[in-house]
Structure 1
């Protein structure tokens, strides 16, 4: 797989891979015997286990007489009151401090004004929308709680909440939804153990509370929040084209094993990196956190006229995948097929209810950050610093094909990298984070043949001297590595036995072009974890301070449908987290690309945290939700400065979003990379960029005092003018119209 040194666009990575002339015939491929690989137990990694929610089995609740609105009190925790309509199972939650009443569905008065009819109107009255399939038929059918043949009963969950039990006798389908009051609002759950499929009908998906808090047209000021890139807002009062698409995308991106991804559409959008959505209406809002089931959920947002006359945001939980299965090996004809087995995981969404000054995207971000901190999912605060660190990623070199083999073209030897560092120190750049890529013995093409470190750079001894020298200067050195994709022609992993399998049981593979085509595949994460032990051991001997994983942990997630040892996306995340923890334990540090939220508690820095959006027409404005969540806890960069498309604009955005500066560098001219596996690096020569490095370091260094602080507020002051405020009152005002920024420390210049 072709990965760029400083990746910013996965689509470009693939295009570069396809156009690169790099194909190297390995002189000898040593197939690893997995029986000789270290066991997970020897690495202190336990097998993944599943703990499922309990289903309430108590006495059936007999509701007392309902009030005039049809609702009955079922729970009160002092801060919130939960009510339910026994007829429809709709709920309301009263925020007792603000006095605001949240509804799962529009009120009777609102429904009376509805123009939709039939199934759409029935859906509006239901707290869920159930999709199911019947027998071998792939057509998805829909049910809701208003169905005339449904049986609904209730079980109280102590004084915390209530469980609604739904049964469709004719379909031989049943499931339960639990509503529990929390310190912050409401949690809605669908226990896996509560789903019963006793006939041919199978659950395909459940859209949970699809209309919770929904806003009719522009009756109140506000917006929907969706986790697109750093964060996206969908305003209620904006005019849009009539044929605009709704927003519905999977958390952590599409599972490539589902066969819904092709070479053409890979990396075309910013994948959702955190399981949060929200809604603001006037002085009230909620931040909804998808907890259980986030690895098989999509975030949905719709405008009036798309599925109802309301602005809505919700989570849609998938239980089975739909895919195209080949009829035979001699035809490309596909038959739409539904996955047989249901994903056995609980599903839940926590709604954190907000009011007043907290009722906006900043308050939503703070609420999610608090959730992460409460659950130990965000690590420890960053230390104070007098100088902002700058991330410098050195490209050692690349390989180019020649008759009968390949040549390695060095671009930055260890001595040259040290020369760059010393020159920058003389210019006042005193705090650097250093990383190295292209150090492997066979270059990046055969990433399994890593050691000894390539001799053209200085070999193992040169690496040791460089690292020791950097340590004496007070700098850390990470080596960059790969933990997912491999080239089938040059990897010691076997594509058939080690590659993950798609939902149709075939090995997931993508053909790449070039002078000599090759196939890339993803290695089973358990086997990657086992193989990395030797890599980590050898890097430890060199004195390396950590590994920055370019792929796999932090930015990719997939299932493996190998019949002998299947893995869900949740299990893949678990083993990737284990790899990050093991790497950090052995070397001292670890970093990832993009920084999907499941990885945050396990890493020290994130390279290229999402800071751009997917440019969907439904989204009106981009906001720094994710940077607000992580700033002061995890060090992160935006894209490398030498690969910016609009230099000044992207520089200002990195400053506005609280990133640290980042450059990808070579000592030699870029022409040495021609025809190598880094042909897509257009501009990285240090002599060209050194003045910019020094200039940017001085600019970012104005933010050194807030490096460890939380972002307290962010607001739009005018068109193209934004202000980011930190804990001590320091404000960073960015003006995109004038290409300038100003830092006001503690409220005074």
Structure 2
């Protein structure tokens, strides 16, 4: 192997940068390349720029990218393994440039193709392009061909999966795992770990003495609401940011899913002693599918999987890989580089305000009443507009500075789904349009940012120009994508009493235009779009919307129009494409999915946005451990947030909003006052600052550094901790200028 490597590198130096023009693509569908039809490129340097060399070894069908600044080599096969000459079972895995999941045409079952096609009576063809290099993986037995393109850039390299050029003659491709081992770290590497973007962010260590083999897997942007489910909902944080990475000492590789994040799943594995590597990668679903449950005559369920006839309608999906070194080789460096990427690609602001307090005030709740035995829904107030003013006025007095306020559930059905946009009206039970106008005037006088929420996605009743049947998004089966409420009592979804639809994707722009008209008429400047910023869903009425296709661009365009008309936007736990268009971010994730595979949680989400967009964590008063969330707010420099109501009605206990008992303002006033007093000096010290560093000092003790030189150490443990900033009491924090007392 070493002899082969020496010859390969020598050839690379001699050949230099090889280029060849690729013929123009044919208009007809691509056909399967026959055995003798194409000749693979010769081993050597196949592309080069000032920063990188792209190398190809045709003998093992592997691609390598060498960073000229550091000498580090990242490859489709881990370079250390390739250079060592090791062989065996691990090699079948580690030499796999892609993994394919396909649908067996004979029985409609899903099968997996793993391993280098050269080892499976297939071929891997390397082809030099004018602006890069293409590798086509050909599985001859099924006549499946999957092309990847590699392109070098100034500080990164891009890998494209050419979806429209996939050939599938005897089977249909379902999912493709892209370069499983390009972002990998050898087991037990010192300071070796994987960065996983679950929720706020998480780490998986490569130290096999700490943890055994484990696997993390989750879809980007969470569940697709247009898919069927019979499982109980899980209280977990989804992936909001399509970014991941591997760290090996003072070198790291960060991957950003730059196109096609809606189709992606991120998978990470650590502790695998068979391969000897921890790895993380992106997998793309290229064909829609859904599991259908059909109830039989005798109550049993028939289960089958339905697959779309066509692949998703995009030319390609891509991942950009960014090599990082020295001080940037870690999750903090990844956060800085990812923020810079979002600035360039999505318009993330370079600087923003940093308010220290957010309030969410909740309006009304639908409760069930009866009139002569006939049930009907009525709106029961939790916080009227006048009560909202009283709460804000009192908070101004005890907190010492204006909060940012979001009004949620002030439409025709309160906190529950009703008409699109809550009917774009405000019920008299909550104070009506006059009550809102009075509150707006008060907030304007006091310098309070006020945002009114409108749900442009979920609806349960026809109205506002949209029919529940006619305008609902559809599943792959052609049925409406109804959303049912899970009952912990029956341990199932009730399909009789309560369900709601999702507005079909082609009507989202029209709903936004209606919102513009209504907001203009009521002089509403601050808009909250809770569901639009965080819910990504398919609509199989149009293949362009299959597998949530185009959701990011569609939402970003809508938000851009709203901002262009002079509105400020507050979004709740938004996905990346929405977060970059937000003026305020409420309830950003403060935890990971907390799967057992994950080892540590880190505030990566906040490290990206803090100091650029005003941001808070979820409500302190509704947390299972309010003190822990309070400390997490300090650790991440995020504002405190409280979800509040003026009064609790006993009828709420029999509604979908039965958990509002912990939100009564009178019960939370003292806690809000105390926490505001404890943090006021700290928030003033880091006002307007971005996070430049974060580290785990010891178990339960974390440090965050800000760009003005202020550092804070937070101690979650039950004992005092000695730190560079001095002694930090249990359950407390200390901050200082310059990183020391």
Q: Same fold (TM over 0.5)?
A: yes
After the TM superposition, which residues 187-206 of structure 1 pair with which residues of structure 2 at under 5 Å, given as runs? 187-197=158-168, 199-206=169-176
Residue 9 (structure 1) aligns with: none
1:495–1:453 CA distance, 2 compared to 1 (3 A): closer
Once residues 233 and 454 of structure 1 are traced to their aligned partners in structure 2, the CA distance between those partners, rounded to angstroms, is 47
Q: Give 3-state SS (helix, strand or coil) of 1:651's partner.
A: helix
Matched, 1:282 2:253: no
Matched, 1:314 2:292: no
Residue 722 (structure 2) aligns with: none
Counterpart among 591, 601, 609 of residue 588 in structure 2: 609
Matched, 1:256 2:229: no
Deviations 1:464-500 (A, max 9, x none): 1210121111122111221222225999743432222
Residue 539 (structure 2) aligns with: 560
Of residues 300-309 and 84-93 in structure 1, the stretch that sits farther from structure 2 once superposed is: 300-309
8 A Cα contact 1:319 1:342, kept in partner: yes
Deviations 1:56-79 (A, max 9, x none): 437988755xxxxxx511222122
Deviations 1:315-352 (A, max 9, x none): 11211244334678757312334332111321211110
Counterpart among 723, 733, 737 of residue 741 in structure 1: 733
Counterpart among 76, 81, 87 of residue 104 in structure 1: 76
Matched, 1:209 2:209: no
Matched, 1:226 2:214: no
Once residues 336 and 111 of structure 1 are traced to their aligned partners in structure 2, the CA distance between those partners, rounded to angstroms, is 44
After the TM superposition, which residues 10-25 of structure 1 pair with which residues of structure 2 at under 5 Å, given as runs? none
Once residues 734 and 650 of structure 1 are traced to their aligned partners in structure 2, the CA distance between those partners, rounded to angstroms, is 12
Matched, 1:415 2:391: no
Residue 3 (structure 1) aligns with: none
After the TM superposition, which residues 452-491 of structure 1 pair with which residues of structure 2 at under 5 Å, given as runs? 452-487=425-460
Deviations 1:441-476 (A, max 9, x none): 443443445354222332211211210121111122
Q: Give 3-state SS (helix, strand or coil) of 2:337's partner.
A: helix
After the TM superposition, which residues 79-118 of structure 1 pair with which residues of structure 2 at under 5 Å, given as runs? 79-106=51-78, 112-113=85-86, 116=89
Counterpart among 573, 577, 586 of residue 598 in structure 1: 577
Q: Give 3-state SS (helix, strand or coil) of 2:64's partner.
A: strand
Residue 266 (structure 1) aligns with: 233
Residue 215 (structure 2) aligns with: 246
Counterpart among 333, 340, 344 of residue 370 in structure 1: 340
Q: Give 3-state SS (helix, strand or coil) of 2:550's partner.
A: helix
1:183–1:151 CA distance, 2 compared to 1 (3 A): same
Q: Identify the structure with the greater strand proportion.
A: 2
1:355–1:393 CA distance, 2 compared to 1 (3 A): same
Deviation at 1:623, TM superposition (A): 0.9
Once residues 40 and 246 of structure 2 are traced to their aligned partners in structure 1, the CA distance between those partners, rounded to angstroms, is 34
Counterpart among 552, 557, 560 of residue 573 in structure 1: 552
Deviation at 1:662, TM superposition (A): 1.0
Once residues 660 and 108 of structure 1 are traced to their aligned partners in structure 2, the CA distance between those partners, rounded to angstroms, is 46
Once residues 210 and 513 of structure 1 are traced to their aligned partners in structure 2, the CA distance between those partners, rounded to angstroms, is 36
Of residues 563-572 and 629-638 in structure 1, the stretch that sits farther from structure 2 once superposed is: 563-572
Once residues 220 and 699 of structure 1 are traced to their aligned partners in structure 2, the CA distance between those partners, rounded to angstroms, is 38
Matched, 1:652 2:631: yes
Counterpart among 15, 36, 45 of residue 73 in structure 1: 45
Residue 610 (structure 2) aligns with: 631
Once residues 217 and 452 of structure 1 are traced to their aligned partners in structure 2, the CA distance between those partners, rounded to angstroms, is 59
Once residues 367 and 472 of structure 1 are traced to their aligned partners in structure 2, the CA distance between those partners, rounded to angstroms, is 40
Once residues 645 and 335 of structure 2 are traced to their aligned partners in structure 1, the CA distance between those partners, rounded to angstroms, is 38
1:675–1:491 CA distance, 2 compared to 1 (3 A): farther
Q: Give 3-state SS (helix, strand or coil) of 1:681's partner.
A: helix
Of residues 74-83 and 685-694 in structure 1, the stretch that sits farther from structure 2 once superposed is: 685-694
Q: Give 3-state SS (helix, strand or coil) of 2:597's partner.
A: coil
Residue 39 (structure 1) aligns with: none
Deviation at 1:163, TM superposition (A): 1.5
Q: Give 3-state SS (helix, strand or coil) of 2:658's partner.
A: coil
Q: Give 3-state SS (helix, strand or coil) of 2:151's partner.
A: strand
Residue 666 (structure 2) aligns with: 687
Of residues 436-445 and 187-196 in structure 1, the stretch that sits farther from structure 2 once superposed is: 436-445
Counterpart among 126, 136, 139 of residue 165 in structure 1: 136
Q: Give 3-state SS (helix, strand or coil) of 1:349's partner.
A: strand
1:123–1:442 CA distance, 2 compared to 1 (3 A): closer
Residue 34 (structure 2) aligns with: none
8 A Cα contact 1:258 1:321, kept in partner: no
8 A Cα contact 2:402 2:446, kept in partner: no
Once residues 370 and 61 of structure 1 are traced to their aligned partners in structure 2, the CA distance between those partners, rounded to angstroms, is 41
Deviations 1:521-547 (A, max 9, x none): 222133243134333322333232222
8 A Cα contact 2:312 2:544, kept in partner: no
Deviation at 1:282, TM superposition (A): 1.7
8 A Cα contact 1:133 1:140, kept in partner: yes
Residue 512 (structure 1) aligns with: 485
Once residues 62 and 361 of structure 2 are traced to their aligned partners in structure 1, the CA distance between those partners, rounded to angstroms, is 58
8 A Cα contact 1:593 1:607, kept in partner: yes
Return the structure number with greater relative CO, CA threshold 8 A, min gap 6. Answer: 1
After the TM superposition, which residues 718-729 of structure 1 pair with which residues of structure 2 at under 5 Å, given as runs? 718-729=698-709
Deviation at 1:105, TM superposition (A): 0.7
Number of aligned pairs? 677
Matched, 1:333 2:299: no
Deviations 1:626-672 (A, max 9, x none): 11111111112111121011121110011101211111222235647
Once residues 727 and 442 of structure 1 are traced to their aligned partners in structure 2, the CA distance between those partners, rounded to angstroms, is 45
Residue 270 (structure 2) aligns with: 303
Q: Give 3-state SS (helix, strand or coil) of 1:165's partner.
A: strand
Once residues 179 and 546 of structure 1 are traced to their aligned partners in structure 2, the CA distance between those partners, rounded to angstroms, is 44
Q: Give 3-state SS (helix, strand or coil) of 1:500's partner.
A: coil
Deviation at 1:190, TM superposition (A): 1.5
1:564–1:193 CA distance, 2 compared to 1 (3 A): closer
Once residues 543 and 185 of structure 2 are traced to their aligned partners in structure 1, the CA distance between those partners, rounded to angstroms, is 48
**What's the RMSD between the two structures over aligned residues?**
2.9
Residue 720 (structure 2) aligns with: none
8 A Cα contact 2:47 2:55, kept in partner: yes
Q: Give 3-state SS (helix, strand or coil) of 1:416's partner.
A: helix
Residue 6 (structure 2) aligns with: none
Deviation at 1:381, TM superposition (A): 1.7
Deviation at 1:111, TM superposition (A): 6.8
Deviation at 1:580, TM superposition (A): 2.3
Structure 2 unpaired stretches of 5+: 1-20, 26-37, 488-493, 718-729
1:452–1:489 CA distance, 2 compared to 1 (3 A): closer
1:114–1:224 CA distance, 2 compared to 1 (3 A): farther
Q: Give 3-state SS (helix, strand or coil) of 2:174's partner.
A: strand
Residue 27 (structure 1) aligns with: none
